[in-house]
Chains A and B, each alone.
Chain A
Amino acid sequence: MNWTATFTLLSKEVTRWRKVWMQTVLAPVITALLYLLVFGHVLEGRVEVFPGVSYTAFLIPGLLMMTVIQNAFANTSSSLIQSKVMGSIVFVLLPPFSAFEMFLAYIGAAVLRGLAVGVGVFLLAIFYVQVPVENFFVIMAFAILGSYVMGALGLIAGMWAEKFDQIAAFQSFLIVPLTFLSGVFYSIKSLPPIWYQLSKANPFFYMIDGFRYGFFGQSDQPVLLSLAVMLVATAVLTLICVNMLKSGYKLRDA
Chain B
Amino acid sequence: MNKNDQAQPAISLRGVSKRYGDLQALSDVSFDIKKGEFFGLLGPNGAGKSTLISALAGLLKVNDGSISILGADVEKDYRQARLNLGVVPQEIVMDPFFTVRETLQFQSGYFGLRNNGAWIDELLDQLGLSDKADTNMRKLSGGMKRRVLIAQALVHKPQVLVLDEPTAGVDVELRQSMWRFVRRLHREGHTIVLTTHYLEEAEELCDRIAIINKGQLLALETKEDLLARGLGSKLLVKAKTPIKHIPDEYQDRIARHQGKEIELTIHRDSDSVMDILDNLRAASIDIDYVSVLSDSLEDVFVRMTGDQEVSQIEGSEVQV
Contact = CB atoms under 8 A, between A and B. Distances in A.
A12 B99 CA distance: 12
B169 interface: no
Given A87-B91, A90-B89, A94-B87, A5 B58 contact: no
A83 B95 CA distance: 8
B60 A253 contact: yes
Contacts of A83: 95
B95 A91 contact: yes
B163 interface: no
B176 to A, nearest CB: 26
A93 interface: yes
Contact of A7 (B60, B83, B109): B109
B59 A92 contact: no
B119 interface: no
Range, interface on chain A: 20 to 34
Contacts of B96: 86
B121 interface: no
A106 to B, nearest CB: 13
A4 interface: yes
B54 interface: yes
Contacts, number: 86
Most buried by B among A5, A15, A88: A88
B79 A93 contact: no
Interface in B69-112: 78-83, 85, 87, 89, 91, 93-98, 102, 106-112
Contacts of A95: 82, 107, 110-111, 156
Interface string A1-25: 0101101110110011001100000
A88 B95 contact: yes
A20 to B, nearest CB: 8
B110 A5 contact: yes
Given A93-B59, A94-B57, A253-B59, A15 B97 contact: yes
A11 B106 CA distance: 8
A252 B61 contact: yes
A192 interface: no
Nearest to B20: A253
B111 A90 contact: no
Nearest to B92: A87
Contacts of B3: none
Interface string A72-103: 00000000000100111011111111100000
B113 interface: yes
Most buried by A among B94, B102, B112: B112
A77 B91 CA distance: 23
B109 A94 contact: no
A217 interface: no
A92 B110 CA distance: 7
B111 A5 contact: yes
B184 to A, nearest CB: 23
A248 to B, nearest CB: 7
A91 B107 contact: yes
A138 B203 CA distance: 68
Contacts of A2: 79, 112
A94 B93 contact: no
B112 A88 contact: no
Contacts of A12: 98, 106, 109
A254 interface: yes
Contact of A5 (B85, B91, B98, B112): B112
A2 B83 CA distance: 13
B61 A248 contact: yes
Contacts of A96: 78-83, 111-112
A245 to B, nearest CB: 13
Given A9-B109, A87-B91, 10 more contacts: A4-B112, A5-B109, A5-B110, A8-B110, A86-B93, A90-B89, A90-B93, A94-B58, A97-B110, A98-B79
23 contacts: A4-B113, A5-B109, A11-B106, A12-B109, A16-B95, A16-B97, A19-B97, A20-B97, A86-B96, A87-B93, A88-B95, A90-B89, A90-B93, A91-B152, A92-B110, A93-B58, A94-B58, A94-B82, A95-B82, A96-B78, A96-B112, A98-B79, A253-B60
